[in-house]
Chains A and B, each alone.
Chain A
Amino acid sequence: MTQPPEPGSSTAPPPPEPGLPAYSGLADGEWHLMHPATPLLRSWQVIAVVLLFVVQSFGNDFIAGDADFEGPHVAGRWLLGGGAVLLLIVLAGVGLAFASWRATRFRVLDEALELHTGILFRQQRRARLDRMQAVDVVQPFLARLLGLARLTVEVAGGKESNVALSFLREDDARVLRNHLLASAAGVRYDGPEAPEAPERSTLEVPVGRLILSLLVSGPAIGFVGGVLVLAGISLWIGHPGPLAGSFAPLLGAAGMLWTRFSNGFGFRIADSPDGLRLRYGLLEQRTQTVPPGRVQAVRLSQGLLWRQLGWWTVHVNIAGYGGDDNDSESGSTLLPVGPKVEAVGVLALVLPDLGVRPGENPWDVVDAGLTGAGPAANFLTAPRRSRWVDPISWGRSGVRVTDQAVLIRSGRIYRHLDIVPHARTQSLGLTQGPLQRRLGLASFTMHSTAGPVSPTASHLDQAEASELIAVQSIRAEQARKASGPERWMERSGPQASGHLQQPGEPT
């Protein structure tokens, strides 16, 4: 294998092949290394930990040494030995990161992205671009300071099914993302760089609203309440034990709030021909691009505390994000908090045409799904006898099927509205327990990819549920046949431009 040129060097640009558009930069089909600063960024944690350790132990030793002069030579030798070991650890860490950087290389082909990693255990990964589910440009705090970014291509393969290029120069990452999106969309462009798709209908979440929404959320109330109660108990018994003892759970609640705050900070969602563009993050900044037709399911939800404020939050299932590491909500939030109009507007970006009956206002249907109960707007509701198994939400849980999607609403206290487009249905399920059987009820489930949305309509009338699953399997089949190509720009018709049709504004 020939030595790949470094991405930073501009000495010898490869000659463009005849007949093909002249891709410059990283998307030339050749092997490239990551940015040379990668090993430092990768191993800074090791270095920081060792440095911290050194400072701390040297400090202790000096303090101890001041008091004890009986064996200075021994102490000096120990220091020397310890220092050498630490130096070795740092060198080994940096060396390993450097070797790993040398072994990591990627190339961009017309149809695929290839990444080779590993020194001892080598891994070669090839992701087909037409199976791309989302592209993220992620900038952790340190990388941001250095002007670097990580490019992550998500494909639907469950856990850790992504190709992560870390780290590239920020501009390179952006240009490469545009190129990958153009390739995946089936667009050929002229010129050296892929043009960035124009953004439209931008929506931003003000910081003030975000902070207020976090203050009236469950973790915040729990945090404040917990502190007050425990402080009260501590004062009562005159011992700080209870407050100190429950430090860890309180810290957990605070951490949760902080994560939500930093992930919702500067949140911005926009629509472009390449799909949805999300941008957010306080320290670590993420830019996500989700191509059209990649959203598997949408959930609009509202907790009890937000009801007075009229706020909603929007989550989605996207194949590839779901199985990811820590929490299932990472990368799956389309709107951290917003009024109903904005939430429905975001829904309209995902699903421009709700497919309601002629003469029916889509807004009414969504509104009935969000806040309504009973059979309004043709919702198929759980019957009255289901109150024996679901005394609170029985009047609310229901299903509405339109030409394009299934709307499943549930929860009277914590309201949910789940929407699954027919073309994105994976499989369908019907379940019935012994109690439900006695009452003549059955629950209808739509299986979606891993993620925060799990649409289930509980306790429907069994005959209606049975009919629903029979009809729905046919609808899903038809929708799959009619759905557009994976390369979204190759479809014909007016929707190729990504025309956004709002499902009715409140009058």
Chain B
Amino acid sequence: MAGTLGDVFDADGVVWTPISPGLAKVRRLIAALLNTVGVVVFSVLAVLFTPWLWIGSALLVATFAWEWWLIGRQVGAWGYAERADDLMIRHGVMFRALVVVPYGRMQFVDVQAGPIDRLFDVAHVQLHTASAGTDARIPGLNAQEAARLRDRLASRGEARLAGL
């Protein structure tokens, strides 16, 4: 897992935790639902008006295949690491990003889960600092893991409490 993203986004001695594969299922399901709606609409219109509109349906199916593959890559690229003093999060395949958030700078932690997320036992954790620029999001954790991470971050933040 650690080697796939190259050395730049990989610090020495950091063990990256992958996020839950449930997130891929959630995103694929949403993509499937949206594409199905589109395909149905195009198919009905094709039957009613002109067979040229089958091209639209075919394109949507092709898009879905591409999304399927992309979601797998994107979810595989997300990772986080709890270090002694900070939390590291990395994500992205084409546009890669790495964020380092010190525990002492954390203002609050959000845990969110939508209806489809809950079907697959997935929750999203987001850390907030005083900066709006901090994009410290960990999507797709198991609900227990999310709760554990939230409590752990909160306690670590409290231990290293700093002002601004």
Are A and B co-members of a single complex? Answer: yes
- Seen from chain A, the residues whose Cβ lies within 8 Å of a Cβ on chain B are 130-131, 133, 156, 158, 294, 296, 319, 424-434, 437, 442, 445, 447-450, 454, 462-463, 465-466, 469-470, 473, 476-477, 480, 483, 486
Interface residues in B89-144 (C-beta closer than 8 Å to A): 94-102, 104-105, 129-136
Known A427-B131, A447-B131: A131·B11 in contact at CB below 8 Å: no
Contacts of B85 in A (CB 8 A): 473, 477
Known: A427-B99, A427-B105. 4 other contacts (CB 8 A): A296-B164, A430-B97, A466-B9, A477-B86
Contacts of A437 in B (CB 8 A): 96
Cross-chain contact A480 with B94 (CB below 8 angstroms): no
Cross-chain contact B104 with A480 (CB below 8 angstroms): yes
> How far is A424 from B102 in the complex, measured between Cα atoms in Å?
11
> How far is A462 from B130 in the complex, measured between Cα atoms in Å?
27
Given B96, B99, B100, B133, which contacts A448 in the complex, CB threshold below 8 Å?
A: B133
Distance (whole angstroms) from the CB of A465 to the closest CB of chain B? 7
- Seen from chain B, the residues whose Cβ lies within 8 Å of a Cβ on chain A are 7-9, 11-12, 85-86, 94-102, 104-105, 129-136, 160, 162-164
What are the 10 closest A-B residue pairs judged by CB atoms, nearest first? A447-B133, A447-B131, A426-B131, A430-B98, A427-B101, A462-B8, A428-B100, A427-B134, A426-B129, A431-B97
Distance (whole angstroms) from the CB of A118 to the closest CB of chain B? 25
Cross-chain contact B99 with A428 (CB below 8 angstroms): yes
> Which interface residue of B86, B131, B134 has the most chain A CB atoms within 10 A?
B131
Known A131-B163, A296-B164, A463-B8: A431·B131 in contact at CB below 8 Å: no
Known A450-B132, A473-B86: A430·B9 in contact at CB below 8 Å: yes
Known A426-B131, A426-B134, A477-B102: A431·B163 in contact at CB below 8 Å: no
Contacts of B129 in A (CB 8 A): 426-427, 447
* Secondary structure dominating the interface of B: loop
Selected A-B contacts with CB under 8 Å, 13 pairs: A156-B130, A296-B130, A319-B164, A425-B102, A425-B105, A426-B105, A426-B129, A427-B134, A429-B99, A430-B98, A432-B8, A433-B94, A437-B96
Known A294-B164, A434-B94, A486-B163: A427·B102 in contact at CB below 8 Å: yes
> How far is A476 from B98 in the complex, measured between Cα atoms in Å?
17
Cross-chain contact B102 with A466 (CB below 8 angstroms): no
Cross-chain contact B102 with A476 (CB below 8 angstroms): yes
Known A156-B130, A427-B102, A449-B130: A434·B11 in contact at CB below 8 Å: no
Known A429-B97, A434-B94: A449·B164 in contact at CB below 8 Å: yes
> How far is A319 from B132 in the complex, measured between Cα atoms in Å?
11
> How far is A463 from B6 in the complex, measured between Cα atoms in Å?
11
Output the nearest chain A residue to B97 by Cβ-Cβ distance.
A431
Given A294, A433, A448, A486, which contacts B131 in the complex, CB threshold below 8 Å?
A: A448
Contacts of A130 in B (CB 8 A): 163
Known A447-B134, A449-B164: A480·B102 in contact at CB below 8 Å: yes
Cross-chain contact B100 with A445 (CB below 8 angstroms): no
Distance (whole angstroms) from the CB of A464 to the closest CB of chain B? 10
Distance (whole angstroms) from the CB of B59 to the closest CB of chain A? 24
Known A319-B164, A427-B136, A466-B9: A432·B102 in contact at CB below 8 Å: no
> How far is A428 from B131 in the complex, measured between Cα atoms in Å?
11
Contacts of A433 in B (CB 8 A): 94-95
Contacts of B132 in A (CB 8 A): 158, 449-450
> How far is A276 from B105 in the complex, measured between Cα atoms in Å?
24
> How far is A477 from B103 in the complex, measured between Cα atoms in Å?
10
> Which interface residue of A427, A447, A477 has the most chain B CB atoms within 10 A?
A427
Given B12, B95, B100, B160, which contacts A427 in the complex, CB threshold below 8 Å?
A: B100
Output the nearest chain A residue to B14 by Cβ-Cβ distance.
A470
Given A131, A426, A434, A466, which contacts B7 in the complex, CB threshold below 8 Å?
A: A466
